[in-house]
Amino acid sequence: MADAKAKKTRTVKPVYVVMQVRDNEGNVLVLTKENVTVLGAYKSADDLLSILEGEGLAEGAFYKRIALS
């Protein structure tokens, strides 16, 4: 019988996103972490698509795809 390999455990590393919000003229809108709410984080594009096709995003909400290498 072949030697059983020990399964490697995956470590999920957090993603830190730094961004600015700008108006149509390019001026930075001042936001603080106290007045920003994270509505969700999804690893599956299908989950996000279900939300977009269903109830949609809340007013003023947006999503940003972040590619990890």
Residue 17 Cα distances to 9, 26, 27, 33, 64, angstroms: 25, 20, 20, 12, 10
pTM value?
0.53
State how far the Cα of 61 lies from the Cα of 47, in Å rounded to an integer. Answer: 16
Would residue 35 be called left, alpha or beta, if left means φ above 0 and alpha means ψ between -120 and 50 degrees? alpha
Q: Are 65 and 17 in contact (CB under 8 A)?
A: no
pLDDT, one tens digit per residue, over 6-60 is: 777 777 666 777 788 889 999 999 988 888 888 888 888 888 889 889 988 888 8
